[in-house]
Amino acid sequence: MQQRNAPSAAEPHATASAPQTLTCDLCVIGAGSGGLSVAAAAAAFGEKVVLIERHKMGGDCLNYGCVPSKALIASAKRAHLMRTAGPFGIRPATPEVDHRAVHDHVKSVIATIAPNDSVERFTGLGVKVIQATGKFLDKETVAAGEYSVKARRFVIATGSAAVVPPIPGLDTVPYFTNETIFDNTQRLDHLIVVGGGPIGIELAQAHMRLGSRVTVLEGMKALGKDDPELTGIVLASLRKEGLAIREDTLVQRVEGRPGALRVHVKSGESLDSVDGTHLLIAAGRRPNLTGLDLEAGGIAYERTGIKVDARLQTSNPKVSAIGDCIGGLQFTHVANYHAGIVIRRALLRMPVKVDTARVPWVTFTDPELAHVGLTEAQARTAGHKVNVLRWPYHENDRAQTERETEGHVKVVTNTKGRILGASIVGAHAGELIQMWSLAIAQGLTIKAMTDWISPYPTLAEINKRAAIKYYGSVPSSPMVRRIIRWLKKLG
């Protein structure tokens, strides 16, 4: 089993000589998705760029997050399809899971993508890459390794790391986080997951499909940030598949040894315990701010992250911050969105600001859960008079052919038909939500979502059928019928 602590960054030894001063247009601290996007774009415009990274190029997404988790989920899906092939006329088979080979698949995917994020690629783009910890010396200078960097502008893109809560006994037992779970090469007999957010639930289902018994412990509601109408469908499906999910369950303490762990919990006034062989902590994320010496840079921050305005500017006007390190929505695509805003403001002086209403997110369970804009509850709280439109998967012919009929589309509009938000639960929800994301970003009304032609048979027809429901009462309207009768008289 992996060690409980995240791997430490191997940094070059500082030289005894005075630091070499570098002067540049833009200094980016952090080579995750957001930082790499800023550096590549600025270099493409001919700017002199310095990129500082203390650990792995590609950051959390490539090495510990989106990429390895989706690769693991893909392996797990193949195993599940083998077990559930019966309805298609194919004899079901119990898969023989080679956990080392699954591990190798995950690492192979990372290795395939890694060259895009490598030091060599960015050096080739003209970026000066420094593999060391960046630290502000003052409002205009950052020290990194043997260099002192002075820049016209700085961008902090240091991302986030797994939160390890102060659970009594946790420091005496081995446990995984998302930073170590993908190094595992063996079957986990009974995995206990602390945390029922997207990371915890995704990894729980994947390991269950790969042959583990899995129990999820969540202190509040699992997938609690999404619309409960849709999360209820996901959680019911996961429980039916065999995943044990205990909500409103607080972890009190942990004890045991490798392969024999006991987690003591409290549910209401009842005390209980869960025995397992392995433990995964998926209890949230914290911003990576350690070592930056933000005070020296005149940069205000709090526990949840660096403080920024809608322009992503910090209290130091020369410094912007993007992605997970500012808190809020912590997704790779959000960091990339932030990167675009910073580039447009810094290089082109465009007056763009962050608009979180257009940011979608997806939980890659099976069925998938996707959302963009306002939920029904948020829209009502904001004072909107809303229409709620739904269309079920089971009324879609492609869903029937694939036997993926669980789920539905839910769209929220105001009374004038402006699209306020959309949520989807079901197969390929992450792909289907993108039409609604585009509609909200462009300020489209629901009519626009009825004016396109959907090829038959595709799942995307579900989106159009939901939109058409907005006009469901039109055929029975007395006024419309009078107009039709009048037109009939014209021949």
Q: Where are the domains of the chain?
A: 20-162+286-356, 170-284, 367-476
Beta strands 190-194 and 160-162, pairing class: unpaired
Q: What is the pLDDT of residue 357?
A: 87
Return all residues near 229 (Cβ < 8 A) that are at least 6 apart.
376, 410, 423
105: how many CB neighbours lie within 10 A of its CB? 17
Q: What is the pLDDT of residue 471?
A: 87
Burial 25-45 (b: 16+ CB within 10 A, else e): bbbbbbbbbbbbbbbbbbbee
Q: Which two tokens stand for residue 113?
A: 């993508």
Domain 20-162+286-356 shares a fold with domain 170-284: yes
Please give the residue that has the higher pLDDT: either 80 or 478: 80
First to last CA, the chain: 81
Q: What is the pLDDT of residue 491?
A: 64
Distances (CA, A) of 334 to 159, 185, 226, 230: 11, 32, 17, 23
Rounded to the nearest integer, the mean pLDDT of the chain is 94
Mark residue 195 as left, alpha or beta (left: phi above 0; alpha: psi -120 to 50; beta: remaining): left
Lowest mean pLDDT among 67-81, 312-326, 468-482: 468-482
Per-residue pLDDT band for 475 (boundaries 50, 70, 90) equals low
In the CATH scheme, what architecture does the domain 170-284 have?
3-Layer(bba) Sandwich (3.50)
Q: CATH: 3.30.420.10, 3.30.200.20, 3.40.50.300, 3.30.390.30. Which one for 367-476?
A: 3.30.390.30
| 3 state SS of 438 | helix
Compute the average pLDDT of residues 80-102.
Answer: 97
Dist. CA 418–CA 440, nearest whole Å: 9
Q: Which two tokens stand for residue 376?
A: 């029904």
pLDDT value at 422 more than 50: yes
Please give the residue that has the higher pLDDT: either 38 or 6: 38
CATH number for the domain running over 20-162+286-356:
3.50.50.60
Return all residues near 263 (Cβ < 8 A) that are at least 6 apart.
192, 194, 217, 251, 253, 254, 273, 274, 275, 276, 279
Compute the average pLDDT of residues 112-131.
Answer: 98
Dist. CA 394–CA 409, nearest whole Å: 11
